[in-house]
């Protein structure tokens, strides 16, 4: 299904990149919401975010302040002039938000993964003109992401956007949610006019990753950023480790380098130079590896050993497959590469042994 879209057209928000949405993970108290909102507004933020209903992995945690928080969002709007946004996961959330004058809604990653829930939200939004941002589903499934956008669009909503918040994985060594940038890039290719926001807070899961992820998103041509910012991050009731103060956010945004389209051919050729340099290094390292293999061949010949030592070969495949996965590459791809390298190494050793 072809999406029928219109620009987000956010009143009072400049059209230039990045469109920034900032605010705490959760609305906790009226003081926390107002203090964070005023600090952000004073530093130029035009769109405020705060979670009112929080989908938590386990029961017993803080599950959001609920409708009381909507009155605080109203106050934010009145006192700062910012637009306000929050997450909806049910039809009831939608009705409450519309009643409270929330300006922008977003659908959370866990909800996007559930077509029944998305359809319920779409039905509740029929006939309403409000911007809706759809986060990627927790699992790396582009069709599910597009399907959710289609459901909302099918209800007549045309001001849509996507939020890339990374994809859940068992391995959480660097990122809380793996970026898998090729997925939002493919979304851009499939639906070029759809604005895409990056959520560096939920991808990174830690403060120090917010800045580099924002820069990466800008370099990839994303339209906006949605960043968690809290007046006292360490004391946050949810996602404390990934929230930054309004001051730090301001600093991060100030340092961003925004490369606009007209420079892209220049930066493209610069990137191609970098690729050439990488390829050069790959060849040199491979040649070095083959020299070492031939030395091993000489050793095996002198000691009358067989060329193929399966234990060692399997160890290489497993170890490098896992390492590749850690670095964001498919372990199957790495295994294929190492199989090819191994084949050539064996061929070179055979030459030595049969000399
Ligand atoms: C959030 O934005 O606070 C949130 C719950 O995000 P996600 O749906 O991406 O986990
Ligand atoms: Mn959060």
- The SS3 assignment for 85 reads strand
**Does the C-beta of 249 come closer than 6 Å to ligand 1?**
no
Q: Which residues of 209-223 are buried (b: 16+ CB within 10 A; e: fewer)?
A: bbbebbbbbbeeebb
Nearest alpha carbon, ligand 1 atom 2:
25
What single string gives the DSSP state of each residue in 140-160? Answer: S-HHHHHHHHHHHHHTT---E
**Does the C-beta of 135 come closer than 6 Å to ligand 1?**
yes
Q: Which residues of 173-184 are buried (b: 16+ CB within 10 A; e: fewer)?
A: eebbbbbbbebb
**Does the C-beta of 25 come closer than 6 Å to ligand 1?**
yes
Per-residue pLDDT of the chain (355 residues; tens, 9 = 90+): 899 999 999 999 999 999 999 999 999 999 999 999 999 999 999 999 999 999 988 898 899 999 999 999 999 999 999 999 999 999 999 999 999 999 999 999 999 999 999 999 999 999 999 999 999 999 999 999 999 999 999 999 999 999 999 999 987 789 999 999 999 999 999 999 999 999 999 999 999 999 999 999 999 999 999 999 999 999 999 999 999 999 999 999 999 999 876 555 666 676 777 787 788 779 888 988 999 888 888 888 888 888 777 788 888 888 888 888 878 888 889 888 998 998 898 888 888 888 8
């Amino acid at each position: 299904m072809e999406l029928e879209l219109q620009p987000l057209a956010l009143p009072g928000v400049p059209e230039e990149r990045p469109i920034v949405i900032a605010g705490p993970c959760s609305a906790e108290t009226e003081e926390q919401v107002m203090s964070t909102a005023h600090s952000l507004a004073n530093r130029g933020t035009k769109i405020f975010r705060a979670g009112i209903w929080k989908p938590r992995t386990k029961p017993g945690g803080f599950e959001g302040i609920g409708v009381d928080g909507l009155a605080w969002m109203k106050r934010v709007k009145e006192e700062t002039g910012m637009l306000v946004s929050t997450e909806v996961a049910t039809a009831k959330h939608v009705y409450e938000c519309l009643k409270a004058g929330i300006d922008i809604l977003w659908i959370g990653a866990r909800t996007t993964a559930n077509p029944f829930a998305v359809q319920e939200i779409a039905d509740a939004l029929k006939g309403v003109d409000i911007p809706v941002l759809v986060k990627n589903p927790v699992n790396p499934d582009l069709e599910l992401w597009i399907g959710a956008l289609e459901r909302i669009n099918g209800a007549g909503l045309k001001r849509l956007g996507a939020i890339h918040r990374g994809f859940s994985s068992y391995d959480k060594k660097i990122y809380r949610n793996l970026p898998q940038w090729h997925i939002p890039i493919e979304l851009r290719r499939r639906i070029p006019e759809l604005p895409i926001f990056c959520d560096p807070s939920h991808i990174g899961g830690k403060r120090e990753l917010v800045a580099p992820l924002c820069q990466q998103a800008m370099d990839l041509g994303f339209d906006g950023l949605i960043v968690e910012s809290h007046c006292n991050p360490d004391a946050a009731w949810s996602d404390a480790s990934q929230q930054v103060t309004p001051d730090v956010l301001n600093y991060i945004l100030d340092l961003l380098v925004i490369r606009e389209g007209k420079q892209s051919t220049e930066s493209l050729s610069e990137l191609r130079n970098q690729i050439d340099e990488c390829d050069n290094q790959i060849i040199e390292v491979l040649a070095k590896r083959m020299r070492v293999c031939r030395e091993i061949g000489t050793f095996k010949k002198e000691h009358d050993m067989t060329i193929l030592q399966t234990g060692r070969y399997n160890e290489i495949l497993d170890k490098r497959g896992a390492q590749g996965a850690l670095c964001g590459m498919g372990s199957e791809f790495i295994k294929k590469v190492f199989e090819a390298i191994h084949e050539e190494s064996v061929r070179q050793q055979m030459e030595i042994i049969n000399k």
